[in-house]
Structure 1
Amino acid sequence: MCSSFLLKVMLLFLFSGLIACAQKNAQKKKDQRPNILFIMSDDHAYQAISAYSDKLIKTPNIDRIASEGILFTNASVTNSICAPSRAVILTGKHSHINGKIDNHTPFDTTQVTFPQLFQKAGYETAMFGKLHFGNNPKGVDEFMILPGQGRYINPDFISKTEGRITKKGYVTDIITDVSLRWLKEERNPNKPFLMMYMHKAPHRPWWPRADKFKEFSKKTFPLPKTLFDDHKNRGTAAKTAEMSILYDMRYETDSKLYPETLAEMENLEPMVPRKKNGFWGPFGRTDSIQRAEYTPVLDSINNDFKDNWSSFSKKEKLIWKYQRYMQDYLGTISSVDDNVGRVLDYLDESGLAENTIVIYTSDQGFYLGEHGWFDKRFIYNESFKTPLLIRWPNVITPGTTEDEMVQNLDFAQTFLDAAGIKAPSDMQGESLVPLLKGNRDSWKRKSVYYHYYEYPSIHMVKRHYGIVTKEYKLIHFYYDIDEWELYDRINDPDELNNVFHHPDYAEVVKDLKAQLITLRKKYQDSTELDERFINAYDNRNH
């Protein structure tokens, strides 16, 4: 009887040991899921990444992601404006479904975001940098985010543990410092992580760090071939948008001219609307040491303006403002690239790189003088297309280039798929994992859908929706106008000629209109929804 009891005890211990071993192995297997590092900048044009084009700037660190992974050349957004784009990325749903149609409408906090799903699935989650909306991001274990647009110099942050704090220094460096500290010291090394590392730069008003300000202020950049575009072969929307470098880019806020300089200049032409505290709002945050670093360059810019502006022709004035724009915009990007390099270096040195998916993107594209513009909003290429570079060791073939039609709508489902987490059925994107693995035959999408709502508002880009394929782009501008545009993306890559009414394209128009109706039904967009948002605008504006 005693031996029988001992046998039972031994079997019990053996069974318990087997269960514990199985659980340990299961946990070990679970923890092998890939880490995900999502890097997003704000308004970073694909033209300003040398993996796409090295005409303007070299970005060796961001390029590393492409050379060691994949570069998407037809990545785009569903709504080219900051907060709505971020809402699409977080929810995997179009703006009219997630409710964040513009920068003013509050985000629907009942929407499920992909960080929540990662957190629920056992990932450790963190968010550092610019979210743009809301002060308490959902689904993240740790965060430190900029309030609203944030500041470049000595920025404020909202921290999960410390509340609202001010950090001394340059925003791009600070966001990276905090992100690296979390990676090195604060995360749980036994759990896979999802970290969202999100920069304010290169968003307007484009204040580079002082050393970059000095370096880039001495550079001259090639002019885009459409800088002097008169928009004559397009419709009302292109002709009435308020994003002209010459007529709408502010002297003090954007070109870094002292208010005193403008006060000295009589009959300044062209007259551009002033923004109260436009110069001192950002620059006024400097301390005495920082101010001393910036001032010599600011003095040089202002003296050059005073000495030459009045004698410049209209064309020369546009070129001067374009060069000032590029010097500052690209100066902020240089800091982003340096800091991305710091993070990539740590991943390599720590051994984390082998099991970490790295994504670099922007919340949308941006005009760098094309068509004489800055900003975004349009379905036209420079704002519609967005950079997308992904590195996934041992999965993506290094140096791959992919031209399939993909969107920021796809990001959430891609990350979930890569992590082995089931995506909710109401997400509207498609996982890019087959493309990342080189399985192009399984990719069936041939067109993407776009819808922009924020009008009337800053920059006055009219509301429009459209369908884009590799070959064509069909657009409907609506609300206060009813105009259609069609662009042949192969024969007119700069989108200078609207061929909607050209008889040679009659069949193309017919086919694309039918496809557009199908897409609007697929994504549950409708005339009724358009009217609801129009009424909301009308009520707000009255």
Structure 2
Amino acid sequence: MKRNSIIFGVLLGTVLATACNTEEKNKTSPPNIVFIMSDDHAYQAISAYGHGLNETPQIDRLAKEGAIFTRATVTNSICAPSRAVVLTGKHSFLNGKVDNVQPFDWDQNNFAKMLQKAGYNTAMIGKIHLDGLPQGFDHSMVLPGQGHYYNPDFLVNGERKQFEGYVTELTTQFALDWLKEGRDKEKPFLLIYNQKAPHRNWKPAPKYLTLYDDKNFDPPSNYFDDLTNYEGRGTAAKEQEMEIDGHARWGHDFKFEVDPKGDSTGFTRELERLTVEQRAHWREAYNPKNQAFLEAYPQAEGIAFEDKEKEREISIWKFNRYIKDYLRTIKSVDDGVGEVLDYLEENGLAENTIVVYTSDQGFYLGEHGWFDKRFMYEQSFRTPLLVRYPKEIKPGTEIDKLVQNLDFAPTLLDYAGVEVAPEMQGKSFRSLVSGQSDEWRDAVYYTYYEYPSVHMVKRHYGVATERYKLMHFYYDIDEWEMYDLQKDPNEMNNVYNDPSYGEVREELHQKLEDLRKEYGDSDEMNQKYLKAYLEYRNNQQ
């Protein structure tokens, strides 16, 4: 009995000493950083934002235990340029990655390089969508290009390897493997953990193939915006190619192997990447649903000219197929966030670890009838942002200031005690989110360059304040749009030429001119990148 008491005392002393050492280390060590970025995750599809579309209990933990940003925005709403802005803290026209096609220069500075130099152990795992070997990371395991949902390839420190499984689950597992076994536990760490989901074409995990089958979603109130030919807007809204009912494809997007006309869609080729077992599960889940649609709406493609009510039903069916698959992929993302948060808590790391959850931009979930992003209109321009850091951020904090992805690099460097690089254009929001200060910018600047291209969203730039938004669409048109977000949150009525907004319009023009000068943008810069883009396209043809 005495011997057992001695052993118990020794064990208790060891546990207490370890706990004390961990607590003391947490007080003196720079914070660890887990930066989680998904692809095309709309803020509307995170339950903490209150839209009631789906449940994301794990991501919501960050809002409950930290801060949620309700007006976080991006500088350029398209995948690769947004990621380049996050890394460099510079606008697209300065970091050089203005669109998805032109190359990214990894030799320029980024916040991971600076943290690595300051003694951080660094890793990037998942999707980055920037060509070349990532610089600034002791370990990288990234998807080449867009990557695949099933049985994906990863570039492991530059070496291509294929792994069997579902990409979201694999990315989470590889991130946890690095946290458990791959990192130097004597150093603070930076883990950039990026998910492919919920990027198009929204292939769910095997276990979620039938999630939401028992539910019908109502489309947004302006889902049938096209029926009025986008009245109240300009040419850009009318000429886009991102309508769920009109531009989404029976195969790639709606998962039909044979379309309503009986023609092959090519989706069968996509399923060839799946194993025999995976394909069997997929077809078991989707074929009955597809067959039920074909029986209910024979020759669906021709109904538009014969029966307006059936045309409407088909359009709503397409919305449901899209939104269900989109939300199914998010369920796996949410699961992964929970696994990582659980690991941090179970290993005494939560208190001294900054956890950021965000997306590379927002996304349309049927607003205006659309999917995709690119526009400066609100659902694309805004992005989710949730941050937890128990040492400084009070649980349940809500920030409504105009924070941008331009600010991520300066903020993380600030937390790490590393001097922000002078070329970085963002601002640290550390004092803002801790409640030490409420001073912040009153406007943000936006650019979009990739046109003519997929989805045909015209080139534009603009300025947004807390209430108003001014945009200039250029290149093949010359049109201005202005919106009063307080009176018109869905951006249905362009008030640029409304005389009652004359004074506001002049103020926004001045603000736009000031921001372009401050950040170093100009019409000449636009022409430079337009010329480079067109030359690149011509060389590819």
TM-score (norm 2): 0.91
Cα distance in 1 between the residues matched to 2:126 and 2:217: 29
Correspondent of 1:114 among 111, 114, 117: 111
Q: How does 1:36-115 map to 2 (within 5 A)?
A: 36-115=33-112
Cα distance in 2 between the residues matched to 1:264 and 1:282: 18
Corresponding position of 1:23: none
> How far apart are 1:155 and its partner, in Å?
0.6
CA contact (8 A) 1:257 1:301 kept: no
| Matched letter for residue 409 of structure 1 | L
Segments of structure 1 that go 5 or more residues without pairing to the other structure are 1-26, 266-273
Counterpart check, 1:532 vs 2:528: yes
Cα distance in 2 between the residues matched to 1:264 and 1:85: 40
What secondary structure, in the 3-state scheme, does the structure 1 residue paired with 2:35 have? strand
Corresponding position of 2:470: 474
Q: How does 1:321-400 map to 2 (within 5 A)?
A: 321-400=318-397
1:19-64 Cα distance to aligned partner (Å, 9 max, x none):
xxxxxxxx96996100000000000000000000242100000000
| Matched letter for residue 232 of structure 1 | E
> How far apart are 1:222 and its partner, in Å?
2.4
What secondary structure, in the 3-state scheme, does the structure 2 residue paired with 1:476 have? strand
The CA RMSD measured in Å over matched residues stands at 1.7
> How far apart are 1:293 and its partner, in Å?
1.2
Cα distance in 2 between the residues matched to 1:487 and 1:83: 28
Cα distance in 1 between the residues matched to 2:224 and 2:281: 35
> How far apart are 1:134 and its partner, in Å?
2.0
Cα distance in 2 between the residues matched to 1:29 and 1:40: 25
Corresponding position of 2:499: 503
Number of aligned positions between the proteins: 504
1:105-133 Cα distance to aligned partner (Å, 9 max, x none):
10022311111001000000001000111
Q: How does 1:30-429 map to 2 (within 5 A)?
A: 32-160=29-157, 163-230=159-226, 231-258=230-257, 260-262=258-260, 264=262, 277=266, 279-309=267-297, 310=300, 313-429=310-426
Cα distance in 2 between the residues matched to 1:135 and 1:304: 45
Cα distance in 2 between the residues matched to 1:41 and 1:414: 19
What secondary structure, in the 3-state scheme, does the structure 2 residue paired with 1:62 have? helix
CA contact (8 A) 2:42 2:383 kept: yes
Cα distance in 2 between the residues matched to 1:77 and 1:237: 20
CA contact (8 A) 2:468 2:482 kept: yes
| Matched letter for residue 148 of structure 2 | R
Indicate how the Cα distance of structure 1 residues 511 and 54 shifts in structure 2: closer, same or farther if over 3 A, else same: closer
Cα distance in 1 between the residues matched to 2:500 and 2:138: 57
Counterpart check, 1:486 vs 2:482: yes
Instruction: Identify the range of structure 1 (185-194 vs 195-204) with the bigger mean alpha-carbon deviation.
Output: 185-194
CA contact (8 A) 1:88 1:409 kept: yes
Corresponding position of 2:514: 518
CA contact (8 A) 1:226 1:372 kept: yes
Identity between Structure 1 and Structure 2 (%): 54
CA contact (8 A) 1:217 1:328 kept: no
1:256-296 Cα distance to aligned partner (Å, 9 max, x none):
001x344526xxxxxxxx97x4x234322111111121111
| Matched letter for residue 237 of structure 2 | A
Cα distance in 1 between the residues matched to 2:49 and 2:199: 20
Cα distance in 2 between the residues matched to 1:228 and 1:439: 45
1:367-426 Cα distance to aligned partner (Å, 9 max, x none):
000000000000000000000000001210100111001000000000000000011101
Cα distance in 1 between the residues matched to 2:242 and 2:279: 30
| Matched letter for residue 270 of structure 2 | P
> How far apart are 1:100 and its partner, in Å?
0.2
Cα distance in 2 between the residues matched to 1:288 and 1:541: 38
Cα distance in 2 between the residues matched to 1:383 and 1:217: 27
TM-score (norm 1): 0.90
| Matched letter for residue 218 of structure 2 | P
What secondary structure, in the 3-state scheme, does the structure 2 residue paired with 1:118 have? helix
What secondary structure, in the 3-state scheme, does the structure 1 residue paired with 2:482 have? strand
Cα distance in 2 between the residues matched to 1:78 and 1:131: 17
| Matched letter for residue 251 of structure 1 | W
Cα distance in 2 between the residues matched to 1:262 and 1:82: 32
Structure ID, larger Rg: 1
Counterpart check, 1:452 vs 2:451: no
Cα distance in 2 between the residues matched to 1:465 and 1:359: 28
CA contact (8 A) 1:153 1:283 kept: no
